[in-house]
Amino acid sequence: MLPSDELTRTQALMRACIQCGTCSASCPNEFAMDATPRQLWRMLLLGRTDDIFNSRTFALCSDCYCCTLRCPRGLPATEAMEALKRMAAAGESDRYRRHHAFYKSFLKGVRRRGRVNETELMGTYFLRLRSPLAPLRFLPLGLKLTLKGKVSPMPPLKRRTPLDALFGRVAELEEGR
């Protein structure tokens, strides 16, 4: 889907927003956002994409669905947040480098072996971040999990269920639209 189509589709999801702010009041991450969810929907409907993608708001959505549950207009606000995350990812904006790096590493592993291997995921993520200090933050937990025998320092060599065909077909269908 072209980004502009996705923008139109996302605007349609939130078209009936009445700016009541129930979403902002319900959001557990609102304290860390520069624009509140309510403000974000206004920016969305006005097409102010620069303001949207310069804000941290949608990236801080943790998919708890409280706003979706409580919206008095019954709007799928969490789904709209997801759409904004996808548009930001397609635009490769530098601001969300960490998020993109994580999601890309995740899907790369799923495509290769069908399931996520947590050691491989964090390894690919750290390589993508290209920051030598990034792994240090997670080192104590990694060691703990290794000592508990829950993760292995090396991912298995065997690729159980490669999903190249499925990923390929999804890409084909999306390009054809």
Q: What residue ranges bind another protein (CB under 8 A)?
A: 1, 28-29, 31-32, 59-60, 62-66, 68-69, 76, 78, 82-83, 85-86, 89, 98-99, 102-104, 106-107, 110, 114-119, 125, 137-138, 141, 144-145, 148-151, 161, 163, 165-170, 173-174
Angle in degrees, 0-180, between the axes of helices 97-113 and 77-90, rounded to the nearest 10: 90
Residue of 23, 76, 84, 29 lying closest to 53 (CA atoms): 84
Backbone Cα Rg of the chain = 19
Would you say 31 or 46 has its CB closer to another protein?
A: 31
Identity of the residue, 50 or 177, whose beta carbon is nearer to another protein in the bound complex: 177
Which pair of tokens denotes residue 159? Answer: 């690729």
How near is the Cβ of 89 to another protein at its closest, in Å? Answer: 6
Q: Which residue has the tokens 């399931």?
A: 115
Least Å distance, CB 32 to another protein, is 5
- Closest to another protein by CB, 39 or 119: 119
Both tokens assigned to 138: 């997670």
Closest CA to 59 of 99, 107, 21: 99
Nearest 5°: the CA angle 16, 19, 23 is 95
How many CB atoms within 10 Å of residue 5? 10
- Least distance in Å: CB of 122 to another protein? 8
Among residues 45 and 65, whose Cβ is nearest to another protein? 65
- Shortest spacing between CB 42 and another protein, in angstroms: 23
Least distance CB 91 / another protein (angstroms)? 12
